[in-house]
Amino acid sequence: MAMRPAQVKDVMDIMEDWAPAWTAESWDRVGLACGHPGGQARRVMVALELSDHLLATALKQGQQMLLLHHPPIFKPLTDLRSDRLHANRLIQAAAADLAIFAAHTNLDSAPGGVNDALAARLGLTELKPLVPAGADGLAKLTTFVPADHAEAVAQALFAAGAGRIGAYRECAFESPGQGSFLAPEDGRPFLGRPGRRERVAEIRLETVAPLARAERVLAALAAAHPYEQPAADLYPLRNPPAGFGLGRVGRLARPEPGAAFAARAARELGSAAPAMAGLLPEMVARVAVVSGAGGEMLGEAAAAGAQVLVTGEARHHAAQEALDLGICLLTLGHFETENVMVGPWAERLASALTRAGLDAQVTPCIESARPWRAVAVGKED
């Protein structure tokens, strides 16, 4: 298969397919923050967050696109002054035509995303989302189409983003029936004649679509449907997308002594300042993980039967809550619980680009310099 040079929009499409933007938390800022969708993306770098070191490395290597977990623009910018470091990084990137894309809580939530990578590093199996995501993000689309046009309409809907259920694509249901209509005298009906009531054989076509893509999906329906005015129903669903959600809960392949598990987890992630609160069980079998800041999910972890919640950081009040709930809260660093994703992210993206026939080199930039470091406590000389 001939390979074509990847563009920014190609990478965006792959990421949207894996970690849809509509599954991000409402407060989040994900997607393309800098650059043009039509720009070149033959050299792509994946990293945790934008720093002076990362930017200098990317520019020196001639990278054309950066994929970050932490959005480079989170609070609204009030200016683009080059004497302000956060703005100057973006100015430099824009001047070099370096595209910057962020996948944050949507990548936390996605199957195979940050929380799955964290759980895998700690040896957890039988994983389930701790808090299902996007319960208000899906819609059911129903339309009616002549049988010989049903496949073309379905394919148009799938291309616009409809038909995804978990890891499955192009999901739809078809049932035959009879439709009726009365076309106006000046109408140009695809079937039947103007001014007459008609009955025609049709297929009832049903699928699902993200509400965030509703406008795009309905436009695709109108363009592909043979009728002048196709009938369609679009209504929101309360069920969350299968497999998506914040955090994970699972089991260790073999139960471990509590102290041994806590020490192993800290070593595995290279935690600079591991800490714990609550009740550390004598033996640990069931564990929940939440990358980044997950102390607010203690209740969900306890309800899921977890004996330990591993996360990056938590507020002070979470320590007492852990004790009250009879669960151990183990904090190993925000950076440490998210940096585990950079390598797997780069590998998955590179594979997806190759399968799509796109020529691109994907490089992981796994930071070794942590933003927080331990204080050496000792006697002063």
Domain 4-103+341-364: which topology? 3.40.1390
Cα–chain-centroid distance for residue 124? 21
Domain 114-133+244-339: which topology? 3.40.1390
Residues 6+ apart with CB under 8 A from 154: 163, 170, 172, 205, 207
Report the C-alpha gap between 253 and 119 in whole angstroms. 12
Report the C-alpha gap between 209 and 325 in whole angstroms. 39
Per residue in 328-379, pLDDT tens? 999 999 999 999 999 999 999 999 999 999 999 999 998 766 777 777 776 6
Q: Which has more pLDDT, 109 or 243?
A: 109
CATH topology of 4-103+341-364 equal to that of 138-236? no
The torsion angle over the Cα atoms of residues 323, 328, 333 and 335, rounded to 10 degrees, is -120
From the number of C-beta atoms within 10 Å of its C-beta (0-12, 13-18, 19+), residue 112 rates as middle
Per residue in 78-96, pLDDT tens? 888 999 999 999 999 999 9
pTM score: 0.83
Report the C-alpha gap between 85 and 68 in whole angstroms. 18
Domain ranges, ordered by start, for the chain = 4-103+341-364, 114-133+244-339, 138-236
pLDDT value for 329: 98
For residue 33, give the 3-state DSSP assignment.
Answer: strand
Report the C-alpha gap between 142 and 84 in whole angstroms. 51
- Asked whether the predicted pLDDT for residue 188 surpasses 80, the reply is no
Q: Among candidates 228, 230, 226, 222, which has minimal Cα distance to 187?
A: 228
As assigned by CATH, the class of the 138-236 domain is alpha beta
